[in-house]
Structure 1
Amino acid sequence: MDRGQAYSLEGVVGTIVIASALVFGLQAVSIAPWTDGGPQQGVEIREQTEDTIDILADGDALETGALCLGGDNETTPHQGVVSTDPAVEPVGTVLNRTLEQTANYNVYIDYPDTNGSVTEIALGPERTPTGPAVTVTREVVLFESDPVFELNATSEACVEDTQYNNLGEVPEDDIYLHNQNGSSELYSVLQVRVVAW
């Protein structure tokens, strides 16, 4: 065997040893922090979600979303309130313009039922989280004088329901909420919960 063949054989064996070490090393080390954004991405998603929910709360959009009934004798908020196709003003539009760019999300309303236990309603399509998720909640206080809304499919917006002047006039059979305190202006306290990943 001459020197050229020996050097070639030495190069091939060296390459195999280095490749084997790399494969073994990658199996021993978790590369997830470098591939899925890691903990910093979770912090950014939480901050973005909190800011988005604060914007919606400041504009009374959370109350509108919670009281935007589907119409046609539907007693719960319309699924289109946070739908992506089409987005209903204002909740769905704001969420889609902010969170859809960087994260997926589910929106839930948690409210006390007549027995006092908490019931959950998903607004919009429920997606399965594909990674670590963050949860942001905001309490929404509803009063008897708050207007009730219904989904207008033509304008793709929640418009005031002309059947009732306010929430206090809605029979409990016509809405998913019940009056938690019949002796005061307070009607119900619920939570809007956004799970983003």
Structure 2
Amino acid sequence: MDRAQAHTLEAITAAMILVSSLVFALQVTAVTPLTGSTSSQHIENQQGAVAEGLLTTAEENGTLTSTLLYWNDSEESWHGATGDGYVGGAPPTAFGAALDDALSERGVAFDLTMHYVDASGTRRSQAIVDLGEPSDHASSATRLVTLEDDDRLRAQDGSVSGTTLENASYVVGDTVPEQNLYAVVEVELVVWRI
């Protein structure tokens, strides 16, 4: 009988230690709705891969450059955009349609920004699409695009116009006037779940 009581006492003591350890562990760890999880990290990685894929594909098929050249020279902005770029959605270009298909229709917001260095050597940014402030869990991808003096701007219907970059009032100035190279710009696509 003494032996049975000793085993019972041991079991109760072990259970109390185990429960105390669990309570301590739960108090030390704060879990909130905003706590990152492996599933949210997976979603961020997926969105980053989609952004990278969109920029790579658009660069390869030429739709990224043609979107950069979708410039209204007389208004000194992209066709139909505000001074802050397109604030209601993607530009009405082939690349814009790809952005809508891959992102907007799936509840993913995005910003598309062009970064460049001006004549004084200062890094500047120009919004092409500005759909709001990215969340803390946003992902981004970038691509360098080379523009040349003889690249032609696009008309509002998307057709090639007669105005070349060297003769336009483009957002970026000619960085190398003595060569055919006009400028190298960095295009950044930031994506986040709404």
TM-score by length of 2: 0.72
Runs of 4+ in 1 over 6 A off after TM superposition: none
Q: What is the aligned partner in structure 2 of residue 12 from structure 1?
A: none
CA RMSD after TM alignment = 2.7
TM-superposition CA deviations, 1:90-127 (whole Å, max 9, x none)? 12101010022152110001112221211111113331
For residue 140 of structure 1, report the CA deviation from its aligned partner.
0.5
* Cα distance change, pair 179–39 in 1 and its aligned pair in 2 (3 A): same
* Distance in 2 separating the partners of 1:160 and 1:114: 27
Q: What is the aligned partner in structure 2 of residue 109 from structure 1?
A: 114
For residue 76 of structure 1, report the CA deviation from its aligned partner.
3.2
Q: What is the aligned partner in structure 1 of residue 159 from structure 2?
A: 159
Q: What is the aligned partner in structure 1 of residue 6 from structure 2?
A: none
Q: What is the aligned partner in structure 2 of residue 183 from structure 1?
A: 178
In structure 2, what residue type is equivalent to 1:75? E
> SS at the partner of 2:173?
coil
Alignment of 1:26-175 (within 5 A): 28-32=30-34, 37-71=39-73, 73-78=74-79, 79=81, 87-100=91-104, 101-152=106-157, 158-162=158-162, 164=163, 166-168=164-166, 170-171=167-168, 174-175=169-170
Aligned residues: 163
* Cα distance change, pair 109–179 in 1 and its aligned pair in 2 (3 A): same
In structure 2, what residue type is equivalent to 1:191? E
For residue 177 of structure 1, report the CA deviation from its aligned partner.
1.6
For residue 52 of structure 1, report the CA deviation from its aligned partner.
0.8
For residue 86 of structure 1, report the CA deviation from its aligned partner.
7.2
* Cα distance change, pair 140–54 in 1 and its aligned pair in 2 (3 A): same
* Cα distance change, pair 139–131 in 1 and its aligned pair in 2 (3 A): same
> SS at the partner of 1:151?
coil
For residue 30 of structure 1, report the CA deviation from its aligned partner.
3.4
* Distance in 2 separating the partners of 1:63 and 1:149: 10
* Cα distance change, pair 91–99 in 1 and its aligned pair in 2 (3 A): same
% of aligned pairs identical?
17
* Distance in 2 separating the partners of 1:89 and 1:151: 9
* Distance in 1 separating the partners of 2:109 and 2:58: 18
* Cα distance change, pair 86–63 in 1 and its aligned pair in 2 (3 A): closer
- Runs (5+) with no aligned partner, structure 2: 1-22
* Cα distance change, pair 34–195 in 1 and its aligned pair in 2 (3 A): closer
